[in-house]
Chains A and B, each alone.
Chain A
Amino acid sequence: MPEIKLENVTKIFNNGEVIAVNNVNLTIPDADFVFLLGPSGCGKTTLLRTISGLIQPTQGKVFIDGIDVTESPPQERGIAFVFQNFNIFPITVWENCTYALEVQGYGRDYIIKQGERALEIVGLLDRADEYPTGWGNGDLQRLGIARAICSGARILIMDEPLGSLDPKISAEFRWELRNIIKDTNLTAIQVTHNQEEAMAIGDRIIIMRDGHLLQEDTPETLYKNPNSLFVGNFLGGINILEGYIIHIDHPNVYHVKIRLGGPKYTISAPYNRFSLDENVIITFRPEDVYMFPIGYDFENSQANWEGIFLADAKVVSKFHTGKERRFIIEIDNGDEIQIAKPETFKYRFSVGDEIQIGFFMEDVRIFKYPKNLQKEMDLQ
């Protein structure tokens, strides 16, 4: 189904006072499930409205399947909406689902075909004659999605569709939502403030901030290779250490040695964007740090630890998140590092234990020291 393309899209409000969307270029591939993420006020809702035709961009063009739709209203773009608060009418499930088609005067056969298909997909066909009054939020949203599918739209625009569900329920429902979207082959765009949800069920994620598109890619690339400290931190907790460049090898591969805190920790990584003595931020994910008891036999381990960088550490605190166990450890220079391990992790270290930690250079990302570190880390 359709590919969506934005060319130099800018939206300015209040006579130039607010640049909500700033020169965004973007292609959303056909039949992809795409998420728009960013702190509040980043412009994601404005961008979504521009795509759906609820507002016109100040500059730039919107294409759907190569056709310029910049001036077209939503109904001519083949777009249907799914809302956070469902917007379900107090009429039967069937009437809710087929309402749009009835109003537009489609033929009986077509309406029945579309309605049955849509309700079948979300698993509500046998409840078509019920009134949704008193239904749970999960079922109401199933109906909201069925209504959007029934309309025959090719693009689904969803504004926090799981936002009014309990965390537990939304964590289960998200897989159902993804299955529905993938089964119908629709192109779907969803706005959310839940990074975990976007990472879990999105094919691609667009990250915005202050009206700019920061990075747009698959969850895997965004998670492993964020192009900025902000993106890395925004998509799940990250460990941040301060260091500086103490040595650069060249000519072909620049090998940078970074000093962390005191002289003890010197790590090497192939990077070429830095100059000598430059202050940098060194980041790695909590799950990419490994923990070993003192005296661990690396040679006779099942895993391949070749190339691991090791450091002495002490366990400062530990807690469960329900999904994993987390440890806070302290290295010699006083820096704290957070480590995530599966519940099934075989060592049960206690607070105060002396241990060794390790990480691989390939899991480490180095960024330029930002002008304002606190602002860069502020997720709001």
Chain B
Amino acid sequence: MVKVELRNVSFSQGNVKILHNINLTIQDQEYITIVGPTGAGKTSLVGLFSGLYRPTIGQIFFDGVDVTKFPPYQRHCGVMFESYALFPHLRVLDNVCYARHMRESNQMETYSIGEAVLELVRLEGRGSALPHECSGGMQQRIALARAIMALEQKGLLILDEPFKALDAGLRMNLRREIKKIAKSKELQMTTVHVTNDMQEAMMGDRIVVLDNGKIRQVGTPQEILYEPLDLFVANFFSTEMNYFNGKVVEVREVEKLGFKQKPLQRVVILTKEGYFLFAKTEKRFAVGDKVTFLIRSQYFQARHKRRQDKTNSIVGKVNKVKYMGAWLRIEMLAPFQLENLVNGNKTHSMKTRSEELTPEPPKKLIKIEIPTTKVAVHNFQVGETITIYYPSQYVIVFSHIPQSELEAALRVN
């Protein structure tokens, strides 16, 4: 239960600048995730909260009190580490009560609080076990209980990559559980949760996207997903992204739509491949603007038949198909619609069909993912011609990003 504020915080180690001018307010009882790739500065940022590091410039406030120069033990931060760091020779209850035993003299009272905290993390009755007798999931809850206990119900709970060592399958359930505990009536924690996994970041009330020592964006999961501020954020929060560069050929204002808060503009874009694609966006563009257009692979739908309405869809051939469980991944090769490119400025009637084009137009590789549920169409075979389309409010439009910059952002190195 604390409000935390970072004001103009920069942090260097030697000559290396690690964090640049961070401004961030974490509200009381908020659950914040901090996410970014390795080397983004996540652990340093957390070290500034807990007092392990001191900022080179700037101030840190806990509930309005300037704690910049406070040592760790005066800050009320409970930290749970990636490796749990449990004491192997101490019983579960003694692990949990360790920090408070160091401070308080009344052992019996501390033990009874410790037992209450163990109950919160659903480990009631396990206090006398040794850590190695507990499963991985239980060890994690012990580490969580210890961090909570160290806080004395006030202060900041810091979870530093708490699930990194766990199997993917286990993480999903534990995520829900850990947040439930932190937000429970008894605790009402303010929590900072550090991760390098975008799926895990989504559990935050708000997400702080950190890259190269700078905050790229702070927002709710919905804002980060649907209105990313830049290419980095858009790409980081996608399994696979499709990119199109093109030019706006038509704009129209529309009413606000469903989950989007602001009035939308409907934009028709002629891509450099010759596709006419639609987007509904909160941003504003004018005819002739050069734009970059992004669609996540799982936002597409696919049909065997051509749609009568040929707008807003792309026809191509299935190149690869792979079953992945809940999703089917398809790589589709779509021929460039060269005729559209020639006539595109005058009219964009959708008469062109791929067969009527030059014999071998260049092709665009498009990656899509389709649900494998019973009611979804998903029996696609290699070599088949399919039509793909997408709901136009789910695309992301940026001002033009040069091809070279796109490729650099996409290359895995």
Tell me if B170 is interfacial: C-beta within 8 Å of chain A: yes
- Having A200-B322, A287-B326, one finds 5 other A-B pairs with CB under 8 Å, namely A168-B196, A200-B324, A322-B238, A343-B394, A379-B169
* Cβ contact within 8 Å between A380 and B135: yes
Listed in ascending order, the chain B residues whose CB lies under 8 Å from chain A are: 37-38, 135-137, 166-170, 172-173, 196-199, 201-203, 221-222, 225, 236-240, 258-259, 296, 298-299, 301, 322-326, 329, 371-375, 390-391, 394, 412-413
Size of the A side of the interface (Cβ < 8 Å), in residues, is 57
* Cβ contact within 8 Å between A139 and B394: no
Q: How far is the CA of A360 from the CA of B376 in the complex (A)?
A: 13
With A167-B198, A168-B198, A344-B394 as given contacts, are A322 and B324 in contact (CB-CB < 8 Å)? no
Least CB distance from A225 to B in Å reads 13
Tell me if A300 is interfacial: C-beta within 8 Å of chain B: no
Q: How far is the CA of A288 from the CA of B390 in the complex (A)?
A: 22
* Cβ contact within 8 Å between A236 and B137: no
- The 30 listed contacts between A and B (C-beta, < 8 Å) are A138-B413, A139-B413, A166-B38, A167-B196, A168-B196, A168-B197, A169-B37, A172-B412, A178-B322, A219-B323, A220-B323, A234-B169, A235-B169, A237-B169, A285-B326, A304-B375, A319-B202, A320-B202, A320-B221, A320-B225, A323-B199, A323-B298, A342-B298, A343-B296, A343-B299, A344-B391, A348-B259, A378-B135, A379-B137, A380-B167
Q: Which residues of A contact B259 (CB under 8 A)?
A: 348
Those of A105-145 within 8 Å (CB) of chain B = 135-136, 138-139
* Cβ contact within 8 Å between B221 and A379: no
Interface of A (DSSP majority class) = mixed
Q: How far is the CA of A290 from the CA of B170 in the complex (A)?
A: 24
Nearest opposing residue in chain B for A235, CB measure: B325
Q: Which residues of A contact B173 (CB under 8 A)?
A: 237
Q: How far is the CA of A285 from the CA of B375 in the complex (A)?
A: 14
* Cβ contact within 8 Å between A166 and B37: yes
Listed in ascending order, the chain A residues whose CB lies under 8 Å from chain B are: 39-40, 135-136, 138-139, 166-169, 171-173, 175-176, 178, 193-196, 199-201, 218-220, 223, 233-237, 285-288, 290, 303-305, 319-324, 340, 342-344, 348, 360, 362-363, 378-380
* Cβ contact within 8 Å between B38 and A322: no
* Cβ contact within 8 Å between A195 and B168: yes
Q: Which residues of A contact B390 (CB under 8 A)?
A: 344
Least CB distance from A365 to B in Å reads 14
10 smallest CB-CB distances across A and B, nearest first, come from A136-B413, A138-B412, A380-B136, A303-B375, A320-B221, A167-B197, A199-B325, A200-B324, A287-B326, A379-B170
With A168-B236, A319-B221, A344-B391 as given contacts, are A378 and B137 in contact (CB-CB < 8 Å)? yes
Q: Which residues of A contact B221 (CB under 8 A)?
A: 319-320, 322
Q: Which residues of A contact B236 (CB under 8 A)?
A: 168
With A166-B38, A172-B412 as given contacts, are A201 and B168 in contact (CB-CB < 8 Å)? no
Q: Which residues of A contact B372 (CB under 8 A)?
A: 287
Q: Which residues of B contact A290 (CB under 8 A)?
A: 375
* Cβ contact within 8 Å between B371 and A323: no
Least CB distance from B224 to A in Å reads 9
Nearest opposing residue in chain B for A140, CB measure: B413
Least CB distance from B138 to A in Å reads 9
Least CB distance from A380 to B in Å reads 4
Least CB distance from A379 to B in Å reads 5
Interface centre among B225, B236, B371 (most CB of A within 10 A): B371
